[in-house]
Structure 1
Amino acid sequence: MKLSLEPTRFAAAVADAARALTTRPPVPVLAGLKLEAAAGQLTVAAFDYEASVQAVLPADITRAGSVLVPGRLLTDITRTVKGKNLVDLELVGPRLVLTSGSTRYTMHTLPLEEYPSLPKLGDAAGTTTGRDLAHAVAQVASAAGRDDTLPVLTGIHLTVADGKLTLAATDRYRFAVRSIDWTSTSNTTEGQAVIPAKALLDSAKMLADAEQVELALPTSQGVFGMAGPARSTTMRALEGQLPDYQKLWPTEFEATATVDSEELIAAVKRVALVAERGQPVQLNFGQDALSLSAGSSDDAEARDRIDAAFDTVTGVPLTIAFNPAFLLDGLSAIDADAIKFSIVGPTKPALITGATKDGSDLGDDALDYLLMPIRLSK
């Protein structure tokens, strides 16, 4: 194998493929990156039995071939090899020689024959834009669970129906849901899967610049796939399903309020400084303002106040308390000029959504964040 390629694109391909490298590979060869040179391009691939990534870039190939090299070492090397000089790769016996200008690295190779075959990407069920997908995944991922003893709650539930791709995640304390446009490219107009949130988040970031991303729903082997123009990835789907969020969503509210997003996030951060672990931030909705407080008179205490525009004032004043980290996760994920609270009662889940500066809703496809409050002691 012998080839030349542009250093910046090579570094990007290696970094993207390295997303699938694990810190504790089940077998030594899975710590490697597979390089395959053929037909005017180099494919860089990684696989850890759960997820795989393939990154493709153009290359000037003198001699085609494949090699398996230590992934972390190659990643570190490509970060440092920059400039106008091309990167030359040549397999010399059991060593891979990387040269760029006056810089030369020699790396030992791993046994290529022991490397497993990468999962095949299934037929695409449909497409969406990389930007929309990355934004939606990032928004709902904050609500995904982190308890590995409940694997299905660590995933994001994808549902395809009626020309929409709906993403949902929950850790039992909050539930985030977001829909984006979806174009079907097969006879499959409906389908669903639960994909590990972290793997999906990393893959969506990698494909964020793609004008079109193809999604392949899980095959009989439970493999979910995503592909852009020069990057593709597979992930093993999780077994099970999330609860039906439509049955959890409240439809009647005691009070609703619209608050400036930046002011609210800043105020929550300020009062949360005194909220020790497990302590909530209290929100008191009055006639024309939102008061926030945290802590106790026996220890540190904080209070703040911001203006609020109310749509419905029945039941006001009303006090509701939230875990400050969960609240901030939702407020940050909504990414809107204003935040709208729709409150059923102080002990019932509150619906938090985005709004425009004039208080108008963002629409049915925008992020919905349902958050369970913390019951206050009398």
Structure 2
Amino acid sequence: MKFSCEKALLQSAISTAARAVSPKSSIPALEGILLEANEDGLRLTGYNLDTGIRTTVPAEVTQAGTMVLAARLFGEIIRKLDDDTITFQSDGFMVCITCGPTRFNILGTDPEEFPELPAVEYQNSLVLSQSKLKAMIAQTIFAVSDNESRPVITGSLFEADDTGLTVVSLDGFRLALRHEAVEKKEGAPSFSFVVPGNALSEVEKICADCDEPVSVTQGARHIMFKVGSTMLVTRRLEGEFLAYRQAISRNNTICLEADTKALLIAIDRASLMITEKLKSPLRCVFGDSVLKISAKTAIGDAYDQCSIVGDGKGLEIGFNNKYLMDALKAAPADRVRLELSTSVSPCVILPTEGEENFLYMVLPVRLKAGE
């Protein structure tokens, strides 16, 4: 096996593939990156038995072959080499990496020990822009659950129909929903699947803020995301996702509007009294044209207020400050509509204008007297 490649391209490809490498595994090959050199260039694969990432870079291949190299060491070597052409040559399992006067000889692993990436049996697919998918993931992933006793909600639900794609995440305390039109959809009129949250984090990193397409393919047991020369394959999460539409309360009697940034700043200030060790609900009193926000813990208390449009009728309600801030930070709108009903009903956050392409729901926290 012998090839040469530009350092910048190789470093970027290693960084991408390494995201799916197991930090520790009973199979040593899974702690490495599989390199495959052929007439099409150099292909790099990382796989942790749940998620696999494969990417291709241009390379001048003079001798085809395959090899597995330890991801961390290989990545560090390439990162510290000069910005020049890197030559890679193997003799058995010994690999020689040279760049200018610098040379490394490292031991590789038998590629036969590297498991095959799972095949994705085509069922349905859709295509949308990278920037759109990246935003949809970023604006919903914060609500994915980390409760392993309910595996299906440790991922996000993807629902495709004639109106486009809806991505939903929830953890029992909050819900995040984003909807966008798609460029292309093939297969069943409507279909849905659940993608693990950790795989979606990697998809978000792979996608760029551009209009280039990303294709999403649903298989019987796996999902494939294809972004340019990079492919990510991950297992689907099985099980019945919560019937979220029934959980969303829309028969709310109080409807208010607020500037997203101003509301976020006021909540952030009051939250300075709340820490990991000193937890306390954020007390919100929705009055006529004003929202009063306060927090009190053993280290002190804080008060702030924010202008709103509408009359909250004096509704007093408590929230987990982080959950409320996460939703407002993710909201892709300068102004939001807050829908409320009672002190024990969820707060629904929506755009004030245009299509309802996002919806966040935050459950309240019971307030105690004197808090």
Q: TM-score with structure 2 length normalisation? A: 0.94
Q: 2:93 aligned with 1:94, yes or no? A: yes
1:266 paired residue number: 265
How many residue pairs get matched?
365
Q: Identity of aligned pairs, percent?
A: 26
* 2:237 corresponds to 1:246: no
Structure 2: how far apart are the matches of 1:17 and 1:281? 42
Following superposition, the deviation at residue 103 of structure 1 comes to 2.0
In terms of mean alpha carbon deviation, does 275-284 or 67-76 score higher? 275-284
Change over 3 Å in CA distance of 1:342–1:185 after alignment to 2? closer
Structure 1: how far apart are the matches of 2:175 and 2:185?
Answer: 30
Conserved 8 A contact 1:250-1:344: no
Residue correspondence of structure 1 range 53-92 to structure 2 within 5 A: 53-83=53-83, 85-92=84-91
State the match for 2:366 in structure 1.
Answer: 375
Aligned counterpart, 2:5 = 5
What is aligned with 1:128?
A: 128
Cα contact 2:165–2:179 (8 A) shared by 1: yes
* Coordinate RMSD, CA, aligned: 1.7
Question: Once structures 1 and 2 are overlaid, which stretch shifts more, 9-18 or 338-347?
Answer: 338-347
Instruction: Give the counterpart of 2:343 among 343, 346, 358.
Output: 346
Q: In the superposition, relative to structure 1, how do residues 376 and 25 fare at CA in structure 2: closer, same or farther (>3 Å)?
A: same
Residue 125 of structure 1 aligns to a residue in which SS?
A: strand
Once residues 98 and 201 of structure 2 are traced to their aligned partners in structure 1, the CA distance between those partners, rounded to angstroms, is 34
For the 8 Å contact 2:131–2:208, the answer to whether it is kept is yes
- The alpha carbon displacement at 1:163 in A equals 4.0
Instruction: Tell me the equivalent position of 1:20.
Output: 20
The equivalences for 1:164-175 within 5 A come to 164-175=164-175
2:34 aligned partner: 34
1:134–1:201: 8 Å Cα contact kept in structure 2?
no
* CA distance, structure 2, for counterparts of residue 111 and residue 96 of structure 1: 12
Structure 2 portions without partners, runs of 5+: none
- Distance change in 2, residues 1:89/1:239 (3 Å): same
Specify the code of the residue in structure 1 equivalent to 2:61.
I
Shift of 1:345: 1.4
Please state if 1:320 is matched with 2:317.
yes
2:324 is matched by which residue type in structure 1? L
What's the CA shift string for 1:39-89, capped at 9, x where partnerless? 241100011110100011111111111111111111222222342x11111
Does the 8 Å CA contact 1:340/1:352 hold for their aligned counterparts? yes
Would you say the 8 A contact 1:8–1:82 is kept in 2? no
Displacement, 1:362?
4.0
Q: Deviation of residue 329 (structure 1)?
A: 0.9
C-alpha distance after superposition, 1:174-229 (max 9, x if no partner):
0111112224453333211111112112123202356111111132xx11111122
CA distance in 2, matches of 1:251, 1:326: 20
Counterpart of 1:285 in structure 2 is: 286
Counterpart secondary structure, 1:61? strand
Would you say the 8 A contact 1:215–1:226 is kept in 2?
yes
Distance 1:309 1:32 in 2: 56
2:222 paired with 1:230: no
The aligned residue for residue 112 of structure 2 is 113
Amino acid at match of 2:19: R
Cα distance in 1 between the residues matched to 2:299 and 2:14: 51
Structure-2 residue corresponding to 1:205: 205
Contact 1:40–1:60 (CA under 8 A) maintained in structure 2: no
**Distance across 2 between alignment mates of 1:93 and 1:35:** 14
Contact residue 120 and residue 219 of structure 2 kept, 8 A: no
Paired residue for 1:357? none
Can you list the C-alpha shifts for 1:243-266, whole angstroms capped at 9, x where unaligned?
Answer: 111112222222222222222112
The CA distance in 2 between the partners of 1:148 and 1:77, in whole Å, is: 37
Counterparts of 1:192 and 1:26 in 2: how far apart (Å)?
34
SS in 2 for 1:316: strand
Partner of residue 361, structure 1:
353
Q: Taking structure 1 as reference, are residues 185 and 290 closer, same or farther at Cα in structure 2, changes over 3 Å only?
A: closer
Contact map agreement 1:193 1:218 (CA 8 A) in 2: no
The letter of the residue matching 2:225 is M
2:330 pairs with 1:336: no
Deviation for aligned residue 1:11: 0.7
Q: How does 1:180-219 map to 2 (within 5 A)?
A: 180-209=180-209, 211-219=212-220
Q: Give the aligned residue type for 1:321.
A: G
Whole-angstrom CA distance in 1 between matches of 2:259 and 2:121: 45
Q: State how far apart, in whole Å, the 1-side matches of 2:274 and 2:283 are.
A: 10
Could you tell me which amino acid in structure 1 is paired with residue 359 of structure 2? D
Q: Distance in 1 between matches of 2:13 and 2:321?
A: 38
